[in-house]
Chains A and B, each alone.
Chain A
Amino acid sequence: MPLTRRRFLELAPGAALAALPMPSAAQPSALLTRVIPSSGEAVPAVGLGTWITFNVGNDPVLRAECTDVMSAFFAAGGTLIDSSPMYGSSQPVIGHGLARLKPQRLFSAEKVWTSGASAGAAQIERSRQLWGVPRFDLLQVHNLLDWQTQLPRLQAMKAAGQVRYVGITTSEGRRHAELERIMREQRLDFVQLSYNVLDREAEARLLPLAADRGIAVLVNRPFRQGALTRALARAPLPGWAGDIGATTWAQALLKFILAHPAVTVAIPATSRVDHVRENLAAASGPLPGRALRERISADVKAL
């Protein structure tokens, strides 16, 4: 494929992560991947969240911007997009982007967020139609809601080949004790929880347990819903950032998360093309070791 000027511009921001020669011009290959323990499948370690950022309704300008974010995400080698029926219009906005972009590789991560078996089934089907995908790769019970009903249903769907992986989510440290019990007692492919440089409760029990039980971990709120990146916006980047190839605070925060061996994919949300490229680029180059991770955490706390 000839490298036209437009193609080059599409590629340039991701060029740093691309190991040449590239298998296909749009798929840089040097992105850090992690293995899903239950299957051995590799996934790029940075995904894309859609809470708030993709809830833009029918606004044509903002929908086009979301499609641009998705386009840059796929072009940089990202695959995993996370959403939920709770996120307003995010699902149709994803569907709008997918219909236009037709990405070669997509890992669709959805949730069921309702009570009752039939309501759950109807909600999943509606979500599937809004995305416009034949089936989801991952279905998660959102915030543990009615998990006693929904989880067995998702397991049955998996057995029937209607979904590839099953998981459960929480955030902001809520109900960790119950989540731990579910992780011990149920068969899960994925768990999703909040983990970042300041919210480290998961390190104590949940992350080691996930590693132990072979459960993949999706990390939500890597930037505390933007509070961290906003608070750090004017702080100079410490010297250690160069050692891990981080050019921005956002990348340092993501590398802190990805350096935990139990973490599979971090799923930052963004409404900006430059940010999505920056976030994907964090899944390349060196990651901080144990000592540097503590230093990053301490430095952020001190600021």
Chain B
Amino acid sequence: MGEWWTYSPEDFLMFSPRVYWRMFALTNGALWPLPLVGPALALAAGLLCLRARGARVALAMLAALWAFVGWAFLWNLYGVVNWAVFYAAPLFALQAVLLALAAARGPAQQRPPVPRQAAGAVLVALAAAYPLLAPLAGRPLSEAEVFALAPDPTAIGTLGILLIAGGGAGLWPVPVLWCLFSAATLWALGTAQAALPFAAAVAAPAAALFWRGAPARA
């Protein structure tokens, strides 16, 4: 595009904020009462990771969730109003496969250092608490983004789990890229919530590099 400098972030936004937030209401309504279970799933996955065998269960669960969110939310809903998301949906399927392979192999032999796990716990807690963002921003609770159903809390929770369980390098790119993409979208939508996926995308890999516990696998 020769005239790229004439574009602003909003020019790439092809849907209104109302359409965006209502997608979560549609998802929550269609999958009710799953939204009630989502935050508990995030916390359970975090706790499971504290044991090696539990970590395999957590990674397997995440694999299923990435496949589900990619198909139900990205492919069937979000992609319809934003064609760029159609390209992201197969990446969610890829992430599901990578997580399933990691679950089959088991997590890192060496336990990640405690500060790294603590950073992971913060992200998992954030993912579990994500539904509160809607009422905090003055949106109805029906539009809450829920771990296991909405992509942002699922990706942020996954980064937290990877910090706690010590997943291999191959598991990181898709959740990090999604968080950056979503942060850009939220920024263009004009909401400060953009800071959360952005912070997760920067902080999680930084924490993983800083407190390198186990050698990278997978």
Contacts and interface: CB of A to CB of B under 8 A. Distances in A.
A69 B26 CA distance: 22
Interface stretch (A57-65, A98-106, A128-136): A57-65
Contacts of B19: 55-57, 59, 62
B37 interface: no
A89 B22 contact: no
Contacts of A175: 3
A192 B26 CA distance: 36
Interface string B77-97: 100111100000000000000
Interface stretch (B10-18, B38-46, B158-166, B172-180): B10-18
B13 to A, nearest CB: 8
Interface in B1-32: 3, 6, 10, 13-16, 18-19, 22-23, 26
A89 B3 contact: no
A208 interface: no
Nearest to A271: B16
Nearest to A53: B16
Given A56-B19, A57-B23, A61-B22, A88 B80 contact: yes
A174 interface: yes
Interface string A146-180: 00000000000000000000000000111100000
Contact of B14 (A52, A61, A271): A52
Contact of B77 (A57, A88, A173): A57
A221 B87 CA distance: 29
A56 B81 contact: yes
A59 B80 CA distance: 10
Interface in A41-97: 51-53, 55-59, 61-62, 86-89
Size bracket of the A interface: 20 to 34
Secondary structure type dominating chain A contacts: loop
Contacts of B10: 225
A59 B22 contact: yes
A87 B14 contact: yes
Nearest to A58: B80
Nearest to B76: A58
A59 B3 contact: no
A213 B15 CA distance: 36
A62 B76 CA distance: 16
Contacts of A53: 16
A139 B15 CA distance: 23
A53 B14 CA distance: 9
Most buried by B among A61, A62, A271: A62
Nearest to A172: B6
Nearest to B14: A88
Contacts of A59: 19, 22-23, 26
B18 A89 contact: no
A4 B82 CA distance: 42
Contacts of A88: 14-15, 80-83
B80 A89 contact: yes
Nearest to A86: B14
A59 B81 CA distance: 10
Nearest to A85: B83
A49 to B, nearest CB: 13
A116 B131 CA distance: 46
Contacts of B77: 57-58
Contacts of B81: 55-57, 88-89
Interface string A173-190: 111000000000000000
Most buried by A among B6, B19, B23, B82: B19
B6 A174 contact: yes
A61 B81 CA distance: 15
Interface in B55-81: 76-77, 80-81
Contacts of B15: 52, 55-57, 88
Contacts of B3: 174-175
Interface of A: 51-53, 55-59, 61-62, 86-89, 172-175, 225, 271
23 contacts: A52-B13, A52-B14, A52-B16, A55-B16, A55-B81, A56-B81, A57-B23, A57-B80, A58-B76, A58-B77, A59-B22, A59-B23, A59-B26, A62-B22, A87-B14, A88-B15, A88-B81, A88-B83, A89-B80, A89-B81, A173-B6, A174-B6, A175-B3
Interface of B: 3, 6, 10, 13-16, 18-19, 22-23, 26, 76-77, 80-83
Given A62-B19, A86-B14, 7 more contacts: A52-B14, A52-B16, A55-B16, A55-B81, A174-B6, A175-B3, A271-B18
